[in-house]
Amino acid sequence: MNTFHFAAIMIIAMCIGLIYLVDKKKKNRLELGMQRAAGIIAVVMLLTVNLPVLAGLYDEIVMSDDENNVAYYYDEEENEEETYIYEEEIHLDEYEEYSYKEELEELGYEEIETMGGYIPIMPLLSTIDFPTGGIIVATGDTVEIVAGGVITGNITVQAGGTLYIEEGAIVNGSIGVVGTLTMNGGEVGGVNVQSHWDTGASGTFIMNGGEINWGVAVVGHANSATSVIFIMNEGKINAGVEVRTMGIFTMNGGEISGNNRQYGGGVHVVASNVPGRSGGRFTMNGGEISGNTASNGGGVFVDGSSGGSSLLSGEFIMNGGKISGNTADYHGGGVYMRYGARFIMNEGKIVGNTSDYCGGGVYGVVAKMTMYGGEISGNITNSSGAGGVHIRGTDFNDQAEFIMIDGKISGNTGNGVYVYLNAQFRIYGGEISENTVTGVYVAMDGRFDMHGGAINRNFDGGVSTGSQGFVMTGGEIRGNTTNWSGAGVRSGGPFIMNGGKISENISNGNGGGIQLSGWAMFIMNGGEISGNISNGNGGGIFTLDRNIMIYEGTIKNNIANNGGGIFRTHNNANISGLSIAQDVILTGNVARHGLFIDDAVAALNPQVAPGIVSIPNTHAFTNYDINVQQLSGNQMFNVSFAVRNAERRRNNRRNYCRRKQHCKWSNNRTSSKGCW
């Protein structure tokens, strides 16, 4: 039956009702009243049920359920079945006064019944496709899916459209967002927040609750200069989040967990491949990324551009929250960075993550990390790398950098910080402590500068450096232990100490405070080496035959078998590799094997004045302060043998710098021109 037939029947019924209304002569008063009432009811019901048909909204009524005020219509053009909820109060004159949209708003018809729940729609302009349940939220539309609503199929939120998902709603499909999506609850398959390729309009997704099972993608288009935004305040994502070109992901709360992928089990921040368009940006203010697995970057993977551009590279800023319990098959159990990527850590925790190779907490290759605060602790590496932070360059002089301003790297299984190849680590504050291997391990042309902070209580030495050496201008290296040599510092290259303190370190081998080997030499321009203990030789400093030049500073209260303060071997009686200036303080050092002196050396150095205890400012080269031992095993001592020459060399350097104006001389000799 089509619309024309139905309208004809309706008109006939109306005529019959009117006849009853006007035929007064043939009926008595009671019968006439009853007929009039029946006629009025027939007219009202016919107008009400068939109002959408009269208005041209639907072609045919399929079924009417007057008891529940529901009518089902079939639209021939769209080949769709829809449900229209009506009430008896609708009248023809009211409908003529309003449009379809206005009539529903005026009378409160805001619901379309489907799939066992309700989809309140206002204004009602979106298309609802049955039986798939897909929705297109067009420009100007606002759609809300509430408790009991089930949508099977994909949803598209066009630019200017708004979609709300409430607690109890289910969307068994993906949602493409160019407009605005607000998720307050419910369950969703996946979400793609994007920008339009033609108009450049960009989507915004705000997650206040609920659960997402297939993950979230945040990606802009090359034609759009507007950022695509995803803000997560609460809720749970059971898969990962991928942030690409012009994408911005801000995590204030909630949980991302249980995902397994190649890169970035929890969050993958991707570099831009479009010139002039920024790479992905991820800011974590709260929430937790946990229990994810990946080949690299179990928790977070931050990618950089191949050309190293800071604009194109991805960026991760951590202001709070927790990255925990993630696993990497290779590198970066918690966080992985590569090729120009940037990671700034202000606060938050990276704890309990595991990598089979390097960087249980954080791994970076040709990347830059700055740590202003927060905690990287309890992470595990199953290799010889860092349990805390592992940073490396490449063989092709590609550099990497880690700057630590504050914060804590502690209790990791493996090294606290591992610096490899063309990488540089600078520490200004914070603490690196209680790691199961070395606090800071530097290898293969890595570089380390210490300006402040503390490297304390690590279980295989505080600092170990390679051929590039180590510069220390402040901070402390304290309370570290090792079963080998060099509990405080093991240096295989030049070690320059301009300030700071190396104290209370304990070695079961030689060198409680410092051990020099390989290409090492030690220059001390200030600071303190004190309270260190060696169960071998050299409580403060130990070396076989490396040069030691001490211009300022204090070496005190150190303990060893021989050479409580300093122990150095040599090959000749002149001992040319040891220079100590007059103002250096050696006091309170102890040698367990007591006092030794060799008469032959004493004859060569008439200033020998051995004593029972250290004598400040006289440099008694006794076994307590300094043991200079010939390689054959005979102990020999000297007092201030290099003081005069050292002062002469020092004055010559001052004069040379002044003449050539290469640098400004200062007492702490920290000039980059090397004028000390």
- CA–CA gap between residue 426 and residue 31 (Å, rounded): 104
> What pLDDT was estimated at residue 656?
41
- CA–CA gap between residue 545 and residue 565 (Å, rounded): 16
Highest mean pLDDT among 274-278, 280-284, 655-659, 665-669: 280-284
CA 657 to chain CA mean position, Å? 46
Sequence-distant (6+) residues with CB within 8 A of 662 are: 656, 673, 675
The residue with tokens 């209580």 is: 457
> What pLDDT was estimated at residue 68?
44
pLDDT averaged over every residue in the chain: 77
pLDDT greater than 60 at residue 383: yes
- CA–CA gap between residue 67 and residue 89 (Å, rounded): 15
- CA–CA gap between residue 254 and residue 235 (Å, rounded): 5
Higher per-residue pLDDT: 631 or 245: 245
Range of weakest confidence among 125-134, 525-534, 561-570 = 125-134
Range of weakest confidence among 8-22, 62-76, 212-226 = 62-76
> What pLDDT was estimated at residue 342?
94
Instruction: Kindly give the interhelix angle for 29-49 and 3-22, rounded to the nearest 10 degrees.
Output: 160
> What pLDDT was estimated at residue 55?
42
pLDDT greater than 50 at residue 3: no
Q: If we measure between CA atoms, which residue out of 209, 208, 211, 206 comes closest to residue 193?
A: 206
> What pLDDT was estimated at residue 617?
46
- CA–CA gap between residue 528 and residue 42 (Å, rounded): 105
Over residues 264-288, mean pLDDT: 94
User: Mapping DSSP to helix (H, G, I), strand (E, B) and coil, where does residue 184 land?
Assistant: coil
- CA–CA gap between residue 423 and residue 213 (Å, rounded): 39
Over residues 484-511, mean pLDDT: 97
Neighbour-count burial of 200, counting CB atoms closer than 10 A to its CB (0-12 exposed, 13-18 middle, 19+ buried): middle
**Half-sphere exposure of residue 134: CA atoms within 13 angstroms, side-chain side:** 12
Contact 352, 324 (CB under 8 A): yes
Using one digit for the tens of pLDDT, what is the confidence trace for 392-402? 998 777 889 99
Range of weakest confidence among 334-348, 376-390, 602-616 = 602-616
CA distances from 592 to 127, 237, 473, 589 (A): 91, 63, 31, 10
Over residues 293-319, mean pLDDT: 88
pLDDT greater than 90 at residue 368: yes
First to last CA, the chain: 104
Torsion 132-138-141-144 (CA) sign: positive
Higher per-residue pLDDT: 8 or 525: 525
Higher per-residue pLDDT: 132 or 173: 173
CA angle 335, 336, 337 (to 5 degrees): 125
The residue with tokens 């010139």 is: 275
Query: Predicted confidence band at 231 (pLDDT cuts at 50, 70, 90)?
Result: very high
Query: Predicted confidence band at 40 (pLDDT cuts at 50, 70, 90)?
Result: low
> What pLDDT was estimated at residue 70?
41
Q: What are phi and psi of 590, to 5 degrees?
A: -130, 135
The residue with tokens 């289910």 is: 170
Over residues 530-537, mean pLDDT: 97
pLDDT greater than 80 at residue 14: no
> What pLDDT was estimated at residue 29?
57
Query: Predicted confidence band at 242 (pLDDT cuts at 50, 70, 90)?
Result: very high
Over residues 320-338, mean pLDDT: 97
Q: If we measure between CA atoms, which residue out of 110, 114, 135, 113 comes closest to residue 124?
A: 110
> What pLDDT was estimated at residue 654?
44
Cis peptide before 131 (omega within 30 of 0): yes
> What pLDDT was estimated at residue 4?
46
Higher per-residue pLDDT: 660 or 350: 350
Q: If we measure between CA atoms, which residue out of 524, 504, 518, 490 comes closest to residue 670?
A: 524
Rg (CA), the chain: 40
Query: Predicted confidence band at 9 (pLDDT cuts at 50, 70, 90)?
Result: low
Query: Predicted confidence band at 147 (pLDDT cuts at 50, 70, 90)?
Result: confident
Over residues 597-622, mean pLDDT: 47
Using one digit for the tens of pLDDT, what is the confidence trace for 455-466? 999 999 999 999
Number of neighbours of residue 402 by Cβ within 10 angstroms: 24
Contact 358, 386 (CB under 8 A): yes
> What pLDDT was estimated at residue 631?
57
Contact 235, 257 (CB under 8 A): no
- CA–CA gap between residue 336 and residue 268 (Å, rounded): 10
Over residues 94-106, mean pLDDT: 36
Q: If we measure between CA atoms, which residue out of 91, 98, 86, 93 comes closest to residue 58?
A: 86
